[in-house]
Amino acid sequence: MTPAPGRRRMMSVPKRRPEPTESTVGSKNSENEVSPFFAGATIFFLVSLFFFAGLIIKRAYPRVPLVRSGLERELASYQGRLENKPEDLKSRVAVAKIYIRLGKTKLATDELNRVLKMRPKYWDGLFELGLVYLSDGKKQRAITQFKKAANARPSEGLAYYQLGLIAHGDKKFETAVKYLEKTVKISPVLADAHYYLANSHERLGHEGPAKHHYEEAVRFIPDYIEAKKGLLRVERD
């Protein structure tokens, strides 16, 4: 419709929003800010929740027991004995032997030194410590221990045998003969001692003794291949 003459068309003016005041700004900021106390309480609640949930899970699903090898179970058994009887030297040597088999030579050495501190001339401790040193490449220390073991128990041939093997490996064949002769005198059925004794005699040119001890090695172990080869060499020459 056309407006009547004399009337002006009224235009609607949009209302202006009121300018924000300090009080309104402060109230909005306070709504966005989180109270430090409330934040701390929330964190504490969450941590507690995880902690108690962990306890519930542990009770519901207990930890699977550690699977131990046979050697580790044996070690634990001997260690239990030593707690009740710390002066048990046999158990201590047994513990050291297990450490050796597990490759823990440092622990074996410490255990054997404790044994020898209790009884300095204990043959088992001296001999086993010699084996530990030998496995660690400490040849001179091993020789010292084997000599001590031989002196502590002259009727035992194994210390002489180890000394003979070391001498044979070092190509000291006369020394090897000396120790291996003692070995076979004490333990005549030890075929390996006969073999290394025969080989030492062979290297020294002693064909008669070499032949005899090769034969002895084969007598105690009929399928001793290396001894048979040595015997053939000596007989051929």
Q: pLDDT over 90 for what percent of the chain?
A: 60
Tell me how far apart the alpha carbons of residues 2 and 58 are, in angstroms, rounded to a whole number.
87
C-alpha 91, offset from chain centre: 19
Taking only the tens place, the pLDDT of each residue in 60-73 is 444 544 445 777 88
Q: Assess if residue 223 is contained within a domain.
A: yes
pLDDT for the residue numbered 15 = 53
- Write down the pLDDT at residue 8: 47
Question: Across the chain, what does the average pLDDT equal?
Answer: 83
Instruction: Return the higher-pLDDT residue of 136 and 72.
Output: 136
Q: Which residue has the higher pLDDT, 217 or 36?
A: 217
Which of 139, 155, 171 lies at the terminal end of a domain, its last residue?
155
Range of the domain at 107: 69-155
Place of tokens 């194994």: 158
Residue 234 has pLDDT above 50, yes or no: yes
More confident position, 222 or 74: 222
pLDDT of residue 18: 55
pLDDT of residue 237: 76
Asked if residue 4 is part of any domain, the answer here is no
Query: Mind spelling out the 3-state secondary structure of the chain?
Result: CCCCCCCCCCCCCCCCCCCCCHHHHHHHHHHHCCCHHHHHHHHHHHHHHHHHHHHHHHHHCCCCCCCCCHHHHHHHHHHHHHHHCCCCHHHHHHHHHHHHHCCCHHHHHHHHHHHHHHCCCCHHHHHHHHHHHHHCCCHHHHHHHHHHHHHHCCCCCHHHHHHHHHHHHCCCHHHHHHHHHHHHHHCCCCHHHHHHHHHHHHHCCCHHHHHHHHHHHHHHCCCCHHHHHHHHHHHHC
Do 146 and 81 share a structural domain? yes
pLDDT score of 19? 55
Whether pTM > 0.85 for this model: the answer is no
Residue 118's pLDDT is what? 96
- Residue 99 shares a structural domain with residue 132: yes
CATH number for the domain harbouring residue 111 = 1.25.40.10
Question: Residue 226 domain-assigned?
Answer: yes
- Does one domain contain both 184 and 231? yes
Identify whether 139 is part of a domain.
yes
Instruction: Give the separation between CA 133 and CA 126, rounded to whole angstroms.
Output: 11
CB count, 10 Å around CB of 183?
25
CA atoms of 202 and 215, how far apart (whole Å): 13
Last residue of a domain, one of 128, 155, 182: 155
Quote the number of domains for the chain.
2
Neighbours of 215 (CB within 10 A): 17
What's the DSSP call for residue 8?
Answer: P
149 with 161, same domain? no
Q: What is the pLDDT of residues 76-129, one digit of tens each?
A: 888 888 888 888 899 999 999 999 888 899 999 999 999 999 999 999 999 999
pLDDT tens digits, one per residue of 170-210: 999 999 999 999 999 999 999 999 999 999 999 999 999 99
Report pLDDT for 210: 98
Residue 39 lies in a domain: no
The predicted pLDDT at position 75 comes to: 83
Q: Which of 155, 183, 213 is the last residue of a domain?
A: 155
Task: Say if residue 82 is in the same domain as residue 147.
Answer: yes
Mean of pLDDT values over 130-142: 96
